[in-house]
Chains A and B, each alone.
Chain A
Amino acid sequence: MSKKIKRPLTIEEKKQKGAEKNLKALEEQYKKGIDINNVKLKSSLEENLIYIQGIFNKVGDMNIRRFILGDELKLNAALVYIEGIINKQFVNDTILRELMMVIRNEDLKQPLHNQDLIELIPNNLLSIAVVERLEEFSKMIDNLFTGHVVLLIDGYAEALSFPIPARESRSVAEPETEAVVRGPREGFVENIDVNISLLRGRIKTPDLKLESLRLGRVSKTAIVVAYIEGVAPDDLVAEVMSRVKRIDIDMVNESGIIEQLIEDEPFSPFPQISNTERPDGAASSLNEGRVAIFVDGTPFVLVLPSVFIHFLQSNEDYYQRFFFASFMRLLRFGAFLVALLAPSVYIAITTFHQEMIPTKLLLSIVASRAGVPFPALVEALIMEIAFEALREAGVRLPKTVGQAVSIVGALVVGEAAVQAGLVSQAMVIVVALTGIASFMIPAYNFALGVRLIRFGVMFLAASWGMFGITFAVLALLIHLCSLRTFGIPYLSPITPTDWEALKDSFIRVPEWFKNNRPPYLVKNDNQRIRSNIKPSPAKGDDENE
């Protein structure tokens, strides 16, 4: 090993070497750990970039594009962005093109290096709607993850940040969970900006307030709390905001997480906050003085406060004529009772109160139960659990297989179970009716609660017959009466009775008769429709003919 003879370094080279050594040291330091809070940008581009690289160590989708500003001026600059969440086309065609080629000394009155580029670029050069000036790294990091492109220029301790987000988004399609025969076919998507625009398309007033915030230490999910000022009570909005802001969580993936963190009674089987995939539903809820919470990344928008009757209503009720809508609502309420109680009543009557069944019906039920080795409760449990399992299997399996499973499950297994004498036909009918009834409940989360309670009531019915059912119903009623959601009693407008709001509950009165917004929700601006506008043929028509 021969020792290399080193040429003595010039001062310039020494300076450069020193700077490199400095940078190396910084890099080493950053690798050990970086504090990003309250760190200001430096004026040296290289230092800033090393700092950024340190923060984004091993972050593959972070990109740094170095370039030279203009062609004559040798001013180093860099664009920092996260790959995939920005519109690269726009960066290429507008920002880079503008900064690298279009800038000419002669275009401007003064040479570039004499000017404050941080002022000049947004003011005179780049035609981008939103520009932010950054001084801190923490802010820059937040911006980068929300689709900003950050421009760093050597010699400036400030950076420019342009939001050019481009995110893969599903196109607006008909919502699957809330299909209607008549009504808008658009539904919310995962992109919150699209969702807000859909809502804005339906409510065109500055009173529509959209308070946005970010939740989740890791996910930094965008949340928008929407309400109509003056319609939604101020204290409700304040309560919602305080409950939402109280949340400190690492990740918010879906609005359901927010729901569980802000609801009044987490142990109640009844949901107190409804969700909708439909912009028209969200808009009309806001118009009723309710508050909607949009969560980025999910098409399900929370609507609150939601009371008992809200879960038995469908948007279509308002679009169809009121006779049919009222009929459907009554039917749905009946379905709620059937879904809740049908198997229990069957168990209670057949094991305790045979005297309640008409003789002929009793004889045919006895005939169908002949040879069934299980007591009615076990029989019901077998069928109900099998049915729930089928439902779950149907949801989880791929669509093509799902159908086969439901056919095999429902037809083959059901028929075979009856043939084998494991369950009676009467029970199959009861369980099938219950299933249909639970599908009739429009709100899925509400139906889930009903399905769960059903099992409890079944046990009570099997132990004490009708007395057990009465006990269960009373207990549920007491619970419902004591339940409140954001200060609104859960059973309103039934109790406390609100006649005006009852016009739109179990039945739906004609539009021209529904004078006010539901008074239990909207306190001040109550006028919904001008009175006396019931449609009728023009007066005097008959005489003219």
Chain B
Amino acid sequence: MKMSRRFVSLFLLLIMLFSLTACAGKREMDELGIVGLTAVDWDPKDQKYEIIVQVMVPSKAGGGMGGSNIQSWNATAHGRTLMRASKNLRSVVSKKLVWFHNNLIIIGEQAAKRGLKDIMDFFARNKEIRYNSWVLISEFPIKETLEANPRFEGSLPAEIAGLIENNQSDWSESYAINLKDMLIRLADDDFDEITGRITNYKPELTPEGTYEQLDLTKNIPEDLRDVISLSGDAVLKDGKLVGWLDRVESKGYLFIVGEVEGGAIVEYSNRKDKFSAEILSNHSKLKPEIKDGKINFKLEVKTDVAITEAITDLDLTKTEDIEKLQKNLAKEIEKEMETTLWRAQQDYNADIFGYGNAIYRSYPKKWEEIKDDWDQIFPTVTTDIKVKVTVKRLGMISQPITKPE
């Protein structure tokens, strides 16, 4: 008796649980519109935000689990606030929009100039946005940028993510940061923001090449065949876009902050010699010194490189010659960093290196004093640069095959 009563009550409880909760939060997969990319721009004419999402709709082609057959649709909506704009998207999208696979946030130039802080507030608040989404600034209006078509991946977000990854591991000429880092930089006074620049251009069609062949499968008019590209950085001051860094400056920036990963190269050429070297590992040390109220930074960069090209008279088996080479390469790196420093200090007055932060760490009291005048002080800060390049490897051959003519 006791047993059966227990079972009946348990059974009733289960039925209630099933019927009363009604599968709360259930989303069947075919109802989903998976947003892969969100782009935000500012329309100065209407004084409205423009939001474009790229919704990925995989199609069942050939009856298989064809993941590569992804169609993506761009949906555009406007609104005085971002939330209004994103809600307005629903008037043109029949699927239930979900953002959790969104890994890219692209901010148009106009919106970036107007300021990133209120845009980032929207993204930071939304529970479906992942904090590891990349935040990039587009050089052109986002409408144009999103006209580019992916060439290697199934979708544009995957293509851009691939570019970022490639840049980080093999190129180091752009510095993309994710939403979390962006939020930290926006919240801190002692940092200004920097992130990757996304741009698109119509490539000159190569006479024969994979580009033509790949695009034949898609019926895209020729004038729309844009190539998306990640190159250089956008520099922001207090969340507002102030200018761009080109690729070389971008690499200089990465050297200063010590974010150069293996794979980046240093070149050096003069009339006599021509060298290129791949960086194996790089360490940077930034230390502020205050002497007589003057702030001076000591920047030590230690880089191990492997020679990848050497067209020279130098005898690479000799220590003196290698040392000469190392010095030349170091000078080259120094030059790059100096350019970047000059750009950031004189042109943009944006403390993208975190000089303020370094002072705060070493001299917290001093920082409290100069915090408010930092904008005036930052361009006057000097930097002593010391670069030490060590050639670790010469490659498969040691002596050059050809001599310079």
Contacts and interface: CB of A to CB of B under 8 A. Distances in A.
A425 B65 CA distance: 7
B67 A369 contact: no
B23 A462 contact: yes
B58 A366 contact: yes
Contacts of B25: 352, 465
B64 interface: yes
Contact of A363 (B61, B70, B128): B70
Contact of B26 (A351, A425, A459): A351
Interface in B46-87: 56, 58-61, 63-67, 69-70
A197 B271 CA distance: 99
Contact of B67 (A351, A352, A367, A419): A367
A539 to B, nearest CB: 49
B19 to A, nearest CB: 10
Interface string A179-219: 00000000000000000000000000000000000000000
Main secondary structure of the interface of B (DSSP, over half): loop
Contacts of A462: 23, 26
Contact of A365 (B29, B100, B158): B29
B36 A359 contact: yes
A467 to B, nearest CB: 10
A359 B101 contact: yes
B32 interface: yes
A198 B236 CA distance: 86
B64 to A, nearest CB: 7
Nearest to A464: B21
A260 interface: no
A371 B101 contact: no
Given A363-B58, A367-B58, A426-B65, A351 B27 contact: yes
Nearest to B66: A367
A372 B32 CA distance: 14
**Interface residue range, chain A:** 20 to 34
Interface in A404-428: 418-419, 425-426
A541 interface: no
B98 interface: yes
B154 interface: yes
Nearest to B130: A355
Contact of A367 (B23, B60, B98, B128): B60
B34 interface: yes
Given A370-B59, A463-B18, A425 B103 contact: no
Contact of B18 (A367, A459, A465): A459
B29 A363 contact: no
B29 A366 contact: yes
A419 B70 CA distance: 20
A367 B59 CA distance: 5
Contacts of A351: 23, 26-29
A350 B65 contact: no
A538 B211 CA distance: 70
B224 interface: no
B17 interface: yes
A372 B30 contact: yes
A542 to B, nearest CB: 44
A352 B32 CA distance: 11
A354 B98 contact: yes
A360 B34 CA distance: 11
Contacts of B58: 363-364, 366-367, 370
B205 to A, nearest CB: 30
Nearest to A368: B65
Interface in A54-78: none
A363 B66 CA distance: 9
A426 B29 CA distance: 12
Interface of A: 350-352, 354-355, 359-372, 375-376, 418-419, 425-426, 459, 462-465
Given A351-B28, A362-B34, 4 more contacts: A351-B29, A362-B101, A366-B34, A370-B58
25 contacts: A351-B23, A352-B26, A352-B27, A354-B27, A355-B128, A359-B103, A359-B158, A363-B34, A363-B154, A366-B29, A366-B32, A367-B58, A367-B65, A368-B64, A368-B65, A369-B29, A369-B30, A370-B59, A419-B63, A425-B64, A463-B18, A463-B21, A464-B23, A464-B24, A465-B25
